[in-house]
Structure 1
Amino acid sequence: MKGPPKTPLLTVDCVVFDASGALLLIERGHEPFKGCYALPGGFVDVGETVEQAALRELKEETGASGRVERLIGVYSHPSRDPRGHNVSVAFLVEWDGTAVSGGDDAASAAFVSDWREKTLAFDHATIVADALRGA
């Protein structure tokens, strides 16, 4: 009997700005990119929508809550994640003002005002640029 097809894993990423334009970033607690800045996000669980996964991952990694404002895009380049082929659905999320602190696999989380000067993990700089363009 033939098994299920081998397919990419599904992930989500969240772009969240505060009122001053600072970007919510985590410091990755694990490889790949341990210690680097990244957008909050992670793997979609079976039984949840990508929107639910985005808000769950945001809460787990940063303590923040919000609402999905809009889809930024789908990022599917096979080499975007060194762990293997992962496809990410990225959302712009409107933050509700809840306190932010690192959790789950994030070493820390904070709104970073000089985010443009930081190197972001994965293809997260492209995702942020697309969010700003309204892609």
Structure 2
Amino acid sequence: MGAPETPRLTVDVIVPDERGRVLLIRRKRPPFEGRWALPGGFVDVGETVESAAVREVREETGLEVELVRLVGVYSEPDRDPRGHNVSVTYLARATGGELAAADDASEARFMDPAAVELAFDHAAIVEDALRLLERR
């Protein structure tokens, strides 16, 4: 017997700036090719979700980040058209690096997330993260 099929683990990261904008990437590949999304991706075997979150932001945007807090876990089975992917999401702050799109991103910039239609369930994730920031 093979291993049971389980959801795949992903991370998404919300990096706000001092003007209330959020770091977004334009997706280079399907699904949602050409749409704006949060930086993130799949967790590698042997990697913590925290390490994956920092790595994905660096790979896609060139920025170094420090994770501030957990926003939540998003596990709706139909949230990703590729299959059942569960995302652990973090709020982070930029600590260095040079903003430049790379890897799965064709563009990377700080934007008003309400001004664009975000891929996946990223609009709800951003809303949850910004609500947490308001409570500080």
- TM-score of Structure 1 vs Structure 2, range by shorter chain: over 0.9
Residue 98 of structure 1, CA deviation? 2.7
* Aligned position for 1:130: 128
How many Å separate the matches in 2 of 1:14 and 1:92?
Answer: 6
Distance 1:130 1:115 in 2: 12
Paired residue for 1:82? 81
- 1:96 Cα deviation after fit: 1.2
What's the counterpart of residue 115 of structure 2?
117
Letter in 1 for 2:41: G
Q: Match for 1:12: what amino acid?
A: V
Match of 1:92 in 2: 91
TM-score in terms of structure 1 length: 0.95
Partner Cα distance (1:7, 1:44) in 2: 14
Q: Distance in 1 between matches of 2:125 and 2:90?
A: 9
What is the Cα-based RMSD across aligned positions, in Å?
1.1
CA deviation map 1:58-85 (0-9, x unaligned):
0000001111000000000000000000
Report how many aligned residue pairs link the two structures.
133
Cα deviation for residue 97 of structure 1 reads: 4.2
- Unaligned 5+ residue runs, structure 1? none
Q: 2:26, 2:92 → 1: CA distance?
A: 19
Runs of 4+ in structure 1 displaced over 3 angstroms? none
In the alignment, the residues of structure 1 paired with residue 26 and residue 45 of structure 2 have an alpha-carbon distance, to the nearest angstrom, of 26
Q: Which residue of 2 aligns with 1:60?
A: 59
Q: TM-score, normalised by structure 2?
A: 0.95
Deviation readout 1:33-62 (Å, 9 max, x if unpaired): 000000000000011100000000000000
Q: Which runs of 5+ in 2 are unaligned?
A: none
